[in-house]
Amino acid sequence: MTLTKGDRARRSHMPAEGTEHAAAVERAQREMLHEGSASSSVPAGERAARPRIGADVLCEALLRQGVEVMFSYPGGVILPLYDILGDYPQLRHVLVRHEQGGAHAADGYARATGKVGVCVGTSGPGATNLVTGIGTAMLDSIPMVAITGNVPSALIGKDAFQEIDINGITLPMTKHNYLVRDANELPRVIAEAFHIARSGRPGPVHVDITKDALQQETAATHPSDEEVVAGLPGFRPTMDGNYKQLKVAAAELAAAERPVILAGHGILHAGAEAELQAFAERINAPIAWTLLGIGAIDERHPLAYGFMGMHGWKHVNRAIQSADLLFAVGMRFDDRVTGNVRTYAPYARIIHVDIDPAEIGKNVAVEVPIVGDAKRVLATLTPMVEAVPAERRAPYLEQLAEWKRESEGSSWHGSGAWRDGMLSADYVVERIGELTDHEGIYVGDVGQNQMWLARYAGFRHPNTHLSSGGLGTMGYAVPAAMGAALGVPEREVWAIVGDGGFQMTSQELMTLVQDEIPVKIALFDNKKLGMIRQWQEIIYAGNFHSAHLMGPDYLKLAEAYGIPSIKASTPADVDEAIRFAQAVDGPALVWFEITGEQNVFPMMPAGKGLSDLIEEWGTPE
Amino acid sequence: MSAEGNAARPAHTAPPPRSLPGGGERRLHRLVAIVADRPGVLNRVSSLMRARNFNIDSLAVSRTDREGFSRMTISLHGDDIAVEQAAKQLYRLIDVLKVQDVTAEPTVEHELALIKLRVTEANRGEILKVIELARGRVLDVAPDAVIAEVSGSEAEVDAFVAVVRGFGIKELVRTGAVVMARGAGSIEEAVKK
Ligand SMILES: Cc1ncc(C[n+]2csc(CCOP(=O)(O)OP(=O)(O)O)c2C)c(N)n1
Ligand SMILES: [Mg+2]
């Protein structure tokens, strides 16, 4: 049969009348206009008698997973959830000011507590606003479940209002993702999402739920843990290292004269701090750490050697470059750690322990691959390796100690004032560490402030340094600190943030106030995109295009939000300003006016090797 | 190997550069993957290969005889380490149950092609003969075109296409290779329960 043009147009727009499809589309279109939605007609007082719908199943599933707080923002298609949230007072709901803030808050909560963080947004722009936070969690392997609403299932693919293919968007940046169109699937999907997010190498999982699934009446029951595992035959993380490889590793370790242990985020994920220390003590080898490996060992431990990589300590990079064996555990040889791989650790054989087989051999070729959980592998391996007494290591450890004294005593660090007389940032970081007894949680943003924090605060405990390492997301600190403060109320939480990053997510100041979250903000105002300025000075011949950045009067800004604040512009102001913030019962902001001229040194320019550190630029006072 | 620091060594005894993973000799690899038969799994696999910078030569997907299992044959060029990395990345997908690189194993390999050739009254007889001689099969004959089918290894299909190209190819479609390891071993049976 041939159709005329007009016929075809009409037919393609409308499902055949009287069909189930047509009825579903019509229903969905009505729902989009919020007419006759299932539960809105139920008066508040009669809620107890209402039917159990998909949104209830979601809340039940979250509670079964031990969720205590979620960071979320409502919107049209996810309103059925908000309609019943009031019936679940155990589920704390923090209304953020921007979904990106919600995702970072869930991330900060997860990093600080080790539990799965939860954020929620609506379809379309709510979902796309979550994306940066999901990506941040993906690159740093943070357990997170991100939940979005989507348009009713019959409208999917029709470019309905606020419809975007969010599953397609999050697919390459999540550990796994789901689209749920049927409430009966919700119990399994939510349980799987949490299991996947927290097991093996952790990571974010995104669950997209259509509006009709949230509203659908259901008697679905929740699966047991065993059923969840059995339903995921493709997900069986390897926990224990291969025994043969462990024996090879033990032999390599026994033969090594200049071993260096490289500790990464995997130590923290696995809770393997004690095992790491015992292992290092048994073989008397120094521990270097990555940005996210900070806290793997108390920095005061004699074998704690320091922070490695692009802005790591010179002595640490030197030790790596002269090592004959690298024992890498829970780290992934990121380019910020290795620099040019061709010249990386040229004398070293490499033992690489990671729970993700794909990380082994990805960036550097290794001699001994060991797939497994850091805690289990270290616990098994330690008694297998020959103990190396301190005397045998003495010359090596003495040389390392000398390098350390040399590099720590160098000129780029130490005085409170920079050469222009203005505050130097490293000093402020040191004072924050000191005055909080190194017992706080310190959330870095991105840029120079992040590197100063990593280098100078002095960390003693795992999960007390939070930083967007892999994605390097500016604007991370304040919202992530919010999540950390809710997760670990017993620690003082400090957000260390540059003026650039602060201006990206400062809207969450209001959330801090409304939800009474006592985050202390140390705003490092150099009136610059400092790290950009640094690269431009060193690599782009001082062409400072777009490095200068104006900011508001931050005291007035804080006041407008109702947040007590103080400004510190000289070294003499610093301690008092920090103490002021500490004394505030609730959120507080310290505006540190720091020099705009200071660079973070040493620095390994991108593409160069670890031996090519730039240590100083110009002449210091 | 001696373990002196970089600085302590004269430049002429500097160690050789560390070799990069994936810098070896490139050749054709065949990966066979058993995946969960779920919506979007093909998208997950192809998206991962794209994002990880692996260039797929061909990808053939089908059901298996087991409920819930699909099978993919992925052909790609790369050195052994890069392809091993691709396989390990595939394992990160929750829906991927088993991956095998069967390149070095004895396998049976087959591909199917359909080729539509331009014909005229004058050369039809010759074309039909050539198709037959080259072990093709004629599936459709029209006054000015024929569709030929050929199956075999990739090389055999290549050879057939080369022979008939001179007549004028109007359309060509190839399924991409599907492979199966010889002997009793079974990737499906190797999937963990
Ligand atoms: C969202 C985002 N955009 C851009 C960048 C690139 N970038 C890295 S550091 C930096 C400057 C950061 O400036 P500021 O927040 O003031 O921190 P500072 O370096 O001055 O301490 C920029 C723009 C980034 N990391 N993240
Ligand atoms: Mg700045």
DSSP string for residues in A457-471: S---STT-EE---SS
Say what the pLDDT of residue A21 is: 63
Residue A412 has what pLDDT?
55
Question: Is residue B158 over pLDDT 90?
Answer: yes
Q: Are residues B71 and B134 in the same domain?
A: no
Model confidence at A12, pLDDT cuts 50, 70, 90, reads very low
Domain A243-408 coded CATH 3.40.50.1220:
yes
At A32, is the pLDDT very low, low, confident or very high (cuts 50, 70, 90)? Answer: low
Instruction: Judge whether B82 lies within some domain.
Output: yes
Start and end residues for every CATH 3.40.50.1220 domain found in chain A: 243-408
Residue B70 in domain:
yes
pLDDT, averaged across chain A:
92
Task: Give the mean pLDDT of B100-106.
Answer: 95
Interior angle at CA B131, CA B126 and CA B134, nearest 5: 120
Q: Is the ipTM of this complex over 0.95?
A: no
Domain end call among B46, B78, B105: B105
Report the alpha-carbon distance of residue A163 to residue A182 in Å, rounded.
18
Q: Which of A148, A181, A182 is nearest to A166 (CA)?
A: A148
The boundaries of every CATH 3.40.50.970 domain in chain A are: 52-230, 412-593
Tell me which ligand sits closest to the C-alpha of residue A531.
1
- Predicted confidence at residue A24, as pLDDT, reads 65
Q: Are residues B39 and B100 in the same domain?
A: yes
B11 touches chain A (CB under 8 A): no
| Averaged pLDDT, B129-158 | 95
pLDDT in tens, B18-58: 878 777 889 999 999 999 999 899 999 999 999 999 989 99
What is the pLDDT at residue A224? 97
Work out the average pLDDT over A566-570: 97
Q: Nearest CA to A288 among A255, A256, A323?
A: A323
Residue B151 forms part of a structural domain = yes
The chain-wide mean pLDDT, for chain B, equals: 90
Claim to verify: residue B139 and residue B158 sit in the same structural domain:
yes
- Residue A353 CA, chain-centre distance (Å), reads 21
What percent of chain A is predicted at pLDDT more than 70? Answer: 91
Of B105, B139, B169, the residue that ends a domain is: B105
**Residue A37 confidence (pLDDT) above 50:** no
Cβ-Cβ contacts under 8 Å between A and B: the total is 90
HSE of A449, CA atoms in CB hemisphere, 13 A = 37
Contact A171 B44 (CB under 8 A): yes
Domain identity same for B57 and B87: yes
pLDDT band at A193 (very low <50, low <70, confident <90, very high): very high
Q: Which residue has the higher pLDDT, A601 or A593?
A: A593
Best residue among A529, A544, A598, A603 to mutate for probing ligand 1, ranked by most atoms within 8 Å of CB = A529
Does the pLDDT at position A521 exceed 90? yes
How many angstroms away from the CA of A169 is the closest CA of chain B? 11
**Predicted confidence band at A57 (pLDDT cuts at 50, 70, 90)?**
very high
Of B105, B138, B169, the residue that ends a domain is B105
Which residues in chain B have their CB less than 8 angstroms from residue A171's CB?
40, 43-44, 47
Scanning A439-567, the segments in alpha helix (DSSP H) are 448-456, 477-487, 499-505, 509-514, 530-538, 554-561
Instruction: Identify the CA nearest to A501 among candidates A450, A453, A540, A543.
Output: A450
CATH 3.40.250.10 fits A412-593, yes or no: no
Tell me, yes or no, whether B36 lies in a domain: yes
- B17 — pLDDT class (breaks 50, 70, 90): confident
| Closest atom of ligand 1 relative to the A497 alpha carbon | 15
Q: Identify whether B159 is part of a domain.
A: yes
The CATH code of the domain that includes B151 is 3.30.70.1150
pLDDT in tens, A389-445: 999 999 999 999 999 999 887 655 557 888 888 999 999 999 999 999 999 999 999
Q: With residue A382 as reference, give the H or E element that holds it.
A: helix A374-384
Residue B78 structural domain: 27-105
Search chain B and give the residue with CA nearest A338. B18
Average pLDDT estimate for B112-136? 95
Number of domains, chain B: 2
Pocket-forming residues, ligand 1, beta carbon under 6 Å: A 445-449, 472-474, 498-501, 524, 526, 528-532
B54 and B76 assigned to the same domain: yes
User: What pLDDT is attached to residue A379?
Assistant: 98
Per-residue pLDDT reduced to its tens digit, A302-349: 999 999 999 999 999 999 999 999 999 999 999 999 999 999 999 999
Q: Say if residue B99 is in the same domain as residue B154.
A: no
In a domain, B60, yes or no: yes
pLDDT in the model for residue A40: 44
Task: Check CB contact of B43 with chain A, cutoff 8 Å.
Answer: yes
Kindly state whether residues B135 and B65 are assigned to the same domain.
no
Mutate to test the pocket of ligand 1, among A129, A132, A524, A531 (most ligand atoms within 8 A of CB): A531
Topology adopted by domain A52-230: Rossmann fold (3.40.50)
Does B137 share its domain with B169? Answer: yes
Tell me the C-alpha distance between A380 and A234, whole Å. Answer: 26
Same domain? B174 vs B157: yes
What CATH code is carried by the domain that includes residue B34?
A: 3.30.70.260
Does B136 reside within a domain?
yes
Residue B65 covered by a domain: yes
Residues A466-507: tens digit of each pLDDT? 999 999 999 999 999 999 999 999 999 999 999 999 999 999
Which residue in B has a C-alpha nearest to residue A318's C-alpha? Answer: B5
pLDDT at A620 over 70: no
CB-nearest partner of A343 from B17, B21, B96: B17
Distances (CA, A) of A140 to A144, A290, A457, A511: 11, 12, 21, 25
